Every structure is written in C-alpha cells, then in structure tokens.
A and B are shown apart, each in its own frame.
Chain A
C-alpha cells in the first residue's frame, strides 16, 4: 500500500503525558531528528515543578511543544496542529489550545474508567461526540508496545515504559524524520542495560511500522528543510548556550571561570553544564546557599577570576547585599537570573519577566548595575560574553536576565567562528599609580571610570577594599559628606557611561507610525506577530532592547520617532515604567503573566488594535 504524502510548510506538535511518561525525552529526540533533517525549529518544554505529581492527574501533565518549518521561524508556535495525548489528563489539559481540525493521537489504553474519573470526565471523550471537531487517531499505544516487546525478558511494567518510544516512532514515520540518530542515542543511553536499549529500539521501530501499515494513518507529511544562512548548526537550549557563552567569555577574557551557585529551577542546568567542563579550568562551587554562591564568586573575582553566580529570582533576592558589595568594591561579577514566575516561590517551572526592577534597583543605597537580556536561546551565548565584557572592562557586577522560556526552549544555532569572538581581556594592574610608588585602588581610568584591578600576589599593590564608603582615590574609609556624594555620582556615571550599541529599528519602509518594542525573550513572539501584520499589508516598526541598563543612547530618539509605542511584557509593565520615567513617552503596555510566552497571534491582534486606534 502506498500512502499519500502531503507537503506542509510548518507543523506544531505537542507531546503531552504524565510526568513519568518521558515526554521531555520524546520531545528532545524528535527535535534532534528534526534538527538533523534541516528544518528550522523552536521548542517549548512545559512541565510541573513536582518530580512526580500523582499519576494521571491534571497537575502531573508534562508537555513538550515543537514548531518546525521549511523557513525560518521565531517561536514554538501558538496552537498545535498535532497533540499526542498519552492519557486523559494530557488530553483534558491541552485540548483548549487545539484549533478545530487538529490531529489528536491518543493512547486509548489509558482511557480507563478510573483515569477518566481522576480528571473529571464523566463520559469517555473518545466515545461521546465531544471530540468531533478534531481528527482523533485512537491508538492503543501501551498494549501495542507490550505486544511488540513480547519476546523480551521484561516485566509488563518495564515493557509499558517504552510506550513513549513507540509514540516517537509513529510520529517519526508520520513526519518523515530520520531514525538513525534515535537508534544510536538509545544504544548509548542504555549502554549498560543492553536489554532495555534493544526494547526501546524495538518499540521505536514498531511505532514506525505501525504508521506505515495501519489504516488509521492514510497520509504522512513532509516539511522540507529550511533555507537558513550557510554555516554549521546545532540545536541548543538557552541554558546550554549561556553556559557555553560563559566558557567562551572566560577564554576571551583570559580569566579562569569560577561559578558559585546553589541549585534552583530553572537555572540549575547551567551549573550542571559548567561542571562538565573542568578541562577549561572552570571551577564550579556548589555553595551552601545563594548568598555563599555569590560571595564565593565575588571572592574569586577579588583573586582575579571571572566570578559568576547563576540563580533565579528568589536567589537574586538573597544575593542582593553581596551584589551591593560588588558595586561598591567595583569588582567584576556576573549574576545570571533565569527568571521564573514569582513572587516568592511562585511557579518555578514557568516563565516570567518580572525581575527587571529587582535587577535594576533591588539593593540598598544607590547601587546601579548594568543589565543585559538575551533575546533567544542561542543569543544567551552572545549575551553571556557581552555581560562578561562589561563586567571586566568596567569592574562591575552585571545582571544577565534570562528566563525559563529561553532556558529550556531550544532552536538551531549557527555556530560562530571562534576567531570572530570579541577579545574582552583587560590587563590586571601591576604597577603603582600614585606618587612615590603609592597605589590608589580607586583612582579611575579617565575614559571608562573603571578602577584598577590589582589582584593578591601583586607585590607593592597591597590594599584593602570593603563595603564601607571609600575615599576617592585612596580607598581608605571615609565618612566625609562630600566624598560620599562624589563617590555615589562616580559609580552612577561609570554605569551610565558604559558603551552599548544603538537600538536598531526594523522599519522596512520607514513609514510605520507604530513601534512595537520588546526586551528579553519576547523577541520571537513579537517578531512573528510583526511578520503577520506586514504580511497582511500593515505597517509596524520593531525594536528590541538587549541592554536595559544603560539603555542605548538613541532610545529616547527612537521612541519619540513614532506616534505610538507598544511594549508587550510578561510582567505588569516594568520596562514601561522605566521608559516613561526616563523619556516621558506615553508607552502603551500589553501585559500578561500566565507563566507562558506570548503567542504570535495574540500579539498580532494587539498590534493591529494599536494601529487601528486613534
């Protein structure tokens, strides 16, 4: 039987199941196959904070969404074309996001009376008419997997665990994904348990064969490779890119990397990744708490290391006092905040942009710090290098604001040429800079206002620094009123004077009257929305801030160049507050704090409304 093959330009798949069903792994593998095939892609993992919420319940649902296309794309997609639902909870939790006509592949084995009751289905949705608007493919995934693995020396329970690989095989057939990598991956992952490796591969192949032979699937789909810029690509998540960026920064700054960190969702993967790269001289220190993490990083910086601490919002709150110490002692330090939904514990696995004001102002005294925010998973690499450049050149703590969406999301990354990475090294001070061989630890560079960085071990430059106000130049303790006023202003001027590139505006015809501005991870959804508007003939300009402090010098000019400025943020208007105060521009805010990224369609509607309004 030859089945029909249909061409598509893009597809959005969501795998959903119980936390224990292996949906993240399934999504990862499908993504790897898709990346290898050459599509552009973007992913959105979405999982509960609980490691194992009660099986089969709505809070226990874990999902992984993948958008892939034959052209370059910017987001993991708004609404799935295909939902793989491993149980009734997964169906119920995700159905609301599915447009009519979408495909639903359900694991019928899990639609038992008990499981239906757990999530409040009074009747079986597969049997009543409630799913009539969608194309449902009812597949007994569990029992098919168990049957496929009959020859293996496995308990029924172990055999059932491979059902995610059966599903992956089926989807791989349905979308013409290459299968070799998944087979190699399973062999490596279960190298020490060959029987499990063989069973998973068998389940994977059985799923593929099922698609090929069963009547349930009459059509398969092809999405041609994307025409992306020439180069070598790999798929990368924001956290991994950020870790690589820190290593690259260490190499480019010619400073050993010291990470002081305390595990916290969603930042822990940066600690995990960096701890693998000791051959680069990377020291990773898992501290007793958040305060010790940043303290150790600052201590290492005093000793001449590139000191970094990685955390999320609650951790930044705890680190505030030490960051202030870094501000006043003027030492390089990078604080990575992978933002998550707050306040307090909030929703640890959900994304938000709500730490901007804390990054800007969350310390006692006048204590300005530069703030850099990456705009995509792969941009985390460049943003980390930029944060390090500023920290080292200006001797200052720098806040690097990633978020949960960037951290766990992934996209193809065109690898940079190592030779093109910036040299961000700065020489340590080794000679006295005062009269009669004196060393003045707070005598500043005239251009950057940075103070000398003289590290222990340097003879003749012995000096003391600390949190008490310092006299200009000598750094000795000073309570002189005028000196304090001077030092507060010098520290502020140093940060305000940091060289950041101008804000670039994307306004193809130059005649748009509405500017949509963003920062951080909203870049993808905003750019996708802007495309929609333009495709429909609308005019809108787009600009994106990667530097939040200091702001690019032309920011005010850009904002004032448009009749209306729309600023979507996943907070209640934090950047809008800063911009209104600074430039007296009447920003139009669009705010949602649902723990999820914006959808392109949603933002397109908002932009259109702003264009249409008087």
Chain B
C-alpha cells in the first residue's frame, strides 16, 4: 500500500545543512517587470520563503509557460525552464514523474493556465503529480498588452472587446476542485505573510497543490483586487479559511441555511455555534466548492486561504511503485532475455 506522503511533501527531496538566505535564491538577472507589478511582491515572497524549506537548491526547479509571470524562473538561482504557452504543467509532469527527488514548481498566469493550457492544468490536478502550481491571476492578458482573459469579468472593455467581453469567466478554485485537485488555495500578492503561510502548506503537500494568487497588473487592469487591499473594507470582505476554525471576516460569518446552502450573514446576527467551521480535509469537496462560489458577484466577500487539502497518493510515487513491483515480480530487465522472448528459431 502506498504510503501517503501528505505533510511529508518534501520527504524525498535532499536537504542541506548549509544556512540559506534570500540572497542564495536571487539570480544575477535583472528583473524586468513593469514598475509596480504585483509579480515583484510574489517573487520577493518566494525568494524569502525558500530558505525556510532547507532543500538543496539544485533540487528545486521552476517551470513556467508564457506570459509576464512566466519570466519568474529567470530570477531564481535554481534550475529553471521557461517553456511555451500553456505547456508548463505537461513539461513539469514529465520532470516530476521521472524525478521524485525534485521540488518542482509551475509558475503560470490566468491566460497561460486557463486558456491555452487549460487541458494540461486539469489533468495535472487529477493525476496529483508532485507539483506546486502558482497561478498568478490578474484577470487580464499583460504580455500581449491588455486583452481580456478567461478570468476577466463579463463585459470587460479591452482592446479586443471594445463593446465588452461576452464570455463568463472561470473561477480557478471551482475549476481546480472540479478537476479532483487535492490541494487548492487562494492568496493575494500584497499579503506576504498569508502568501507564505499558504506556500508552506503547499510545499508540505505531496501531490499537486494549486495556489491562486490575486496579482495586480497596474498597467492593464490596475486595482482589480483593490477592495481586498483597501484598509477600510478588506477585513470585512475577506473570509479567512483556516482548517478547524469558524469561517468569518471582521463583520461577516458563513452559515448553512435551512435550504442546505451556505450563506454569508452579518456576524452579529448569528450565534457562534451556528457559524460554519472550515473542514479543508474533508474527502467530500462540496463545502470547498460552495465556498469557492461565494465571491460572485465579485468582492462582496472573498474566501482566502486553503479550500481543500486532502491525502491522495502522488503520481510520481505510484509510478515508481509500479516499476519496483515489476522488478520484484520479474527481476530487473535483461535485454538478451527480452529479445529472445517469444518464438525463436536457430539457423546454422
């Protein structure tokens, strides 16, 4: 039986005794995002988080697709692969499936992950390959200069949609849950402490962890997540998801109504025991899914944190087990025996 490695997500990856600092993870390349881009904050958060893992730097790989966020690997002094549009999960899958000793990260954006690469994303999630996927969601195409993206709100006026976009956006959390993801979380670029706490759990998870990061594009979609950053309202609209804790913001609470649906109500109106307690570890993803639907319409109340975190054997581990099992049953491969298998005959 496969040993579940959840909580031991890094157990197969070599550690270092050497003390690491943020500086060890900075490459010599000049960072070239637009001044004020949310990507800077995420990069800094990741660079300052990585030393905490104590992993050998050479066993960390960042794989990305195409888009502004996908330049990320160039700025980290680890192994990196800046690939092609949408395909990072596929490339990272081959790498992680054949190298269980690596910490493999996928850096992607809303266009990269959910438009051109949507198929690879959902299949990586269902397979539970050992990947940490950071989905930078800015709800716009940045690198191609401002077309609407698959997470843009309906009616978005952009260069390609002068009369407003027509298509309903994806909710990345709902999508990931529907794709059988074992770890799904949301965080925001401006809250380093929260971002790093989510990364901590994501890296501890053996399997695919999907972390949606609300990221501001100050050039093409500035202030898209402003309410979540505005000191006046943010504490009221941010519902913190913490396993085993009541789901509340400063002034609101999540309850289950008589019709079985969950609802957001003024916190003052309900008794503490009626407030729904978050269960990220439930095998049943329905609560996580219901929570993912709460932010529609946008930003009246937004769950932030880990929606789902369940144990499921990781793909690379299962794949390696099959190889071991084959060797245990049949012995190691022997080329001569392979070729001589089947019906042979001798001449001369």
Contacts and interface: CB of A to CB of B under 8 A. Distances in A.
A279 B324 CA distance: 7
Interface string A130-147: 000000000000000000
A292 B119 contact: yes
Given A258-B94, A277-B333, A325 B56 contact: no
A244 B82 CA distance: 33
B282 interface: no
Instruction: Choose among B74, B95, B101, B322 the residue with the greatest number of A CB atoms under 10 Å from its CB.
Output: B95
A401 to B, nearest CB: 23
B120 A456 contact: no
20 contacts: A229-B348, A280-B332, A283-B323, A287-B123, A288-B120, A288-B123, A292-B119, A295-B90, A295-B91, A296-B90, A298-B91, A298-B94, A299-B91, A421-B335, A456-B59, A456-B95, A456-B99, A459-B56, A465-B81, A466-B81
Interface of B: 14, 27, 29, 56-61, 63, 66, 73-74, 77-84, 87, 90-99, 101-102, 119-120, 123, 319, 322-323, 325-327, 329-333, 335-336, 338-340, 342-348
A221 interface: no
A291 B87 contact: yes
Contact of B29 (A256, A321, A421, A476): A476
Contact of A462 (B14, B79, B330, B342): B79
Instruction: Choose among A244, A324, A415, A457 the residue with the greatest number of B CB atoms under 10 Å from its CB.
Output: A457
B83 A234 contact: no
A462 B77 contact: yes
A457 B101 CA distance: 8
Interface in A361-420: 415-416, 418
Interface in A275-310: 277-283, 285, 287-289, 291-292, 295-305, 307
B11 to A, nearest CB: 16
B195 to A, nearest CB: 23
Contacts of A228: 347
Nearest to A32: B343
Contact of B58 (A289, A461, A467): A461
Contacts of B345: 35-36, 38, 232-234
B29 A459 contact: no
A551 interface: no
Nearest to A464: B80
Nearest to B324: A278
A302 B95 contact: yes
Nearest to B329: A279
B61 A456 contact: yes
A93 B96 CA distance: 51
Given A296-B94, A321-B84, A457-B59, A289 B119 contact: yes
Given A181-B343, A416-B339, A464-B79, A303 B102 contact: yes
A256 B98 contact: yes
A231 interface: yes
A330 to B, nearest CB: 13
A260 interface: yes
B340 A232 contact: yes
A234 B84 contact: no
A280 B90 CA distance: 24
B347 A231 contact: yes
Nearest to B28: A476
Given A281-B323, A288-B120, A456 B344 contact: no
Instruction: Choose among B93, B98, B322, B332 the residue with the greatest number of A CB atoms under 10 Å from its CB.
Output: B98
Given A231-B348, A467-B82, A477-B74, A307 B339 contact: no
B235 to A, nearest CB: 40
B119 A467 contact: no
A183 interface: no
B171 to A, nearest CB: 21
Contacts of B331: 279
A280 B333 contact: yes
Given A296-B91, A298-B91, A464-B27, A247 B338 contact: yes
Given A283-B98, A464-B81, 19 more contacts: A35-B345, A36-B343, A38-B347, A234-B345, A283-B323, A288-B119, A289-B119, A291-B120, A299-B94, A300-B95, A321-B84, A322-B84, A322-B87, A421-B335, A456-B95, A460-B58, A462-B57, A466-B80, A467-B83
B56 A463 contact: no
Interface in A448-505: 456-468, 476-477
A466 B95 contact: no
A231 B346 contact: yes
Q: Which 4 A-B pairs have the closest CB atoms?
A: A230-B348, A466-B82, A296-B94, A299-B94
Contacts of A181: 343
B82 A278 contact: no
Nearest to B86: A291
A232 B344 contact: yes
Nearest to B341: A234
A321 B119 CA distance: 16
A379 to B, nearest CB: 15
A167 interface: no
A30 to B, nearest CB: 13
Interface of A: 32, 35-36, 38, 181, 227-235, 244, 247-248, 251, 256, 258, 260, 277-283, 285, 287-289, 291-292, 295-305, 307, 321-322, 324-325, 329, 415-416, 418, 421, 456-468, 476-477
Contacts of B84: 321-322, 324-325, 467
A303 B99 contact: yes
A230 B83 CA distance: 51
B97 A300 contact: yes
Nearest to A416: B339
Contact of A247 (B60, B91, B335): B335
Nearest to A459: B58
A232 B56 contact: no
B93 A292 contact: yes
Contacts of A227: 347
Contact of B83 (A235, A325, A476): A325
Contact of B343 (A229, A234, A280, A457): A234
Contact of A295 (B57, B120, B323, B346): B120
A299 B120 contact: no
A458 B92 CA distance: 18
B90 A287 contact: yes
A285 B347 contact: no
Contacts of A415: 339-340, 344
A281 B326 CA distance: 9
Contact of A279 (B27, B59, B66, B327): B327
Contacts of B329: 279
Contacts of A299: 63, 81, 90-96, 98
Instruction: Choose among A32, A35, A228, A466 the residue with the greatest number of B CB atoms under 10 Å from its CB.
Output: A466
B296 to A, nearest CB: 28
Nearest to B58: A459
Nearest to B342: A234
B344 A233 contact: yes
Contacts of B339: 234, 244, 415-416, 418
Contacts of B344: 232-234, 415
Nearest to B330: A279
B139 to A, nearest CB: 25
Given A415-B339, A418-B336, A462-B78, A295 B94 contact: yes
A300 B94 contact: yes
A588 to B, nearest CB: 39
Instruction: Choose among A283, A288, A299, A301 the residue with the greatest number of B CB atoms under 10 Å from its CB.
Output: A299
A270 B247 CA distance: 52
B335 to A, nearest CB: 5
A300 B346 contact: no
Instruction: Choose among A228, A244, A296, A418 the residue with the greatest number of B CB atoms under 10 Å from its CB.
Output: A296
B344 to A, nearest CB: 5
A310 B304 CA distance: 43
Given A280-B333, A296-B91, A302-B95, A233 B347 contact: yes
Given A292-B123, A299-B63, A418-B335, A233 B346 contact: yes
